[in-house]
A = this chain, B = another copy of it.
Amino acid sequence: MANRKKKIPVGILGATGMVGQRYIQLLENHPLFEVAFVAASPRSAGISYADAVAGRWVMDTPIPVVAASLTVYEATDVVAAADRCRFVFSCLEMDTKEQIQELERAYAAAGLPVVSNASAHRWTSNVPMLIPEVNAEHLSIIPAQQKHYGWKSGFIVTKPNCSLQSYVTPLHALMRAGYSIDRVMVTTLQAISGAGYPGVASLDIIDNVVPFINGEEEKTEQEPMKIFGSIDDGHCVPRTDITISAQCTRVPVIDGHTACVNIGFAGKKPTPEEIKEIWSSFRAKPQELDLPSAPRQPIIYREEENHPQPRKDRNNEKGMAVTVGRLRPCPVFDYKFIALSHNTIRGAAGGGILNAELLVAEKFIR
């Protein structure tokens, strides 16, 4: 067991929302981090975290005792944060993207690294959009980012949208193995927790499907281009030789986004056996560094014809694995398969924590 004294104190911006709650839950007993600062909107400021989430705590485990008694600060109180923690997780929700950008920059300027779930800075070219198994090397642009803004220890990294988490790592594994994918069709069946709380009204989703999620298809189509992109002169240059078309739907599932994926290769094609072997043996930076939240097996292939299923596979590797199944030929492209990941663990808070663990291992957070 890690010595409690040495844990890094962390802050959570937007701590009372759905993703914030998941951070609080996952960071209980974390070996490296301890929650020392929680911040939210002005109406929660000044009261205890337990009071702030009373009646709206939606996790299926109780509020951790330590977090319950923390006083909630206003998210704009950068000074209070700087006194209490060494970096912050941001799951801010504000009226405009610009407000979030500005506030995240204020934290970085105050010397606090910002590990963000928010979409505000995802397309800022000198801010990495990180999946540690896919593009850990994008962290190399952080010094240029710091230099550009004149920041010393502070910086910003983001993570991508939850909708693409299930299929981007499997695609990357194939590309890393030398196969070029040039076209992707994906239909997602997304869980209600992705919409936050209160989020989706029960009258809209019980015995129903909603075939639309605002802004989601655009993110699902475009964000992989930056993640798969290259680094040039301190900036990330998105890839342009892959085209993705996405249809995003909401289904009555609590946690776990499912993606039905069709892929086409440019050039040589792997056999199904090769694909399964590539996925099953795939290991990357988080596994090499043995990060605390890293799934031992990042991509799990299930041979059963009716898997992956959200309720039965979302918790694989504590919700940090991607589970894939039903690889088969596609009459139009080359292959089709089903991919699944836990949207509020791997796709949100768990993914953010893994990012922070990588930043510690790589000495960006000290």
Binding site for B on A (CB under 8 A): 18, 54-55, 57-62, 183-185, 187, 189, 192-193, 197-212, 221, 243-245, 247, 249, 251-254, 258, 260, 262, 304-312, 314-316, 325-326, 330-333, 336, 338
B-chain residues with CB within 8 Å of residue A189 when the two chains form the complex: 189, 209, 249, 251
Out of B185, B211, B310, which one reaches A258, CB within 8 Å? B211
> Does B251 lie within 8 Å of A333, measured CB to CB?
no
Q: Which of B206, B258, B309 contacts A202 (CB 8 A)?
A: B206
Whether B201 contacts A200 by the Cβ 8 Å rule is yes
Query: Smallest distance from the beta carbon of A57 to chain B beta carbons, Å?
Result: 8
CA distance A254 to B311 in the complex (A): 11
Q: Which residues of B contact A199 (CB under 8 A)?
A: 201-203
- A selection of 23 A-B contacts at a CB cut-off of 8 Å is A60-B315, A61-B315, A185-B185, A185-B332, A187-B187, A193-B203, A197-B201, A198-B204, A199-B202, A201-B202, A202-B252, A203-B254, A206-B206, A207-B252, A208-B312, A211-B309, A211-B325, A212-B326, A243-B332, A244-B331, A245-B330, A249-B260, A252-B252
- B254/A251 in contact, CB under 8 A: no
Closest to A264 in B: B332
**A197 to B305 Cα, complex, angstroms:** 19
A296 to B330, CA, bound (A): 37
Contacts of A203 in B (CB 8 A): 18, 58, 192-193, 197-200, 254
| Pair A253/B58 contact, Cβ less than 8 Å | no
B residues within 8 A CB of A262?
Answer: 185, 245, 247
| Cβ contact within 8 Å between B58 and A207 | no
Best-surrounded residue of A207, A247, A260 (most CB of chain B within 10 A): A207
Are A338 and B247 in touch, CB under 8 angstroms? Answer: yes
Q: A61-B315, A212-B306, A332-B185 are in contact. Are A252 and B206 (CB under 8 A)?
A: yes
- Cα A37 to Cα B304 in complex, Å, equals 25
Contacts of A312 in B (CB 8 A): 57-60, 208
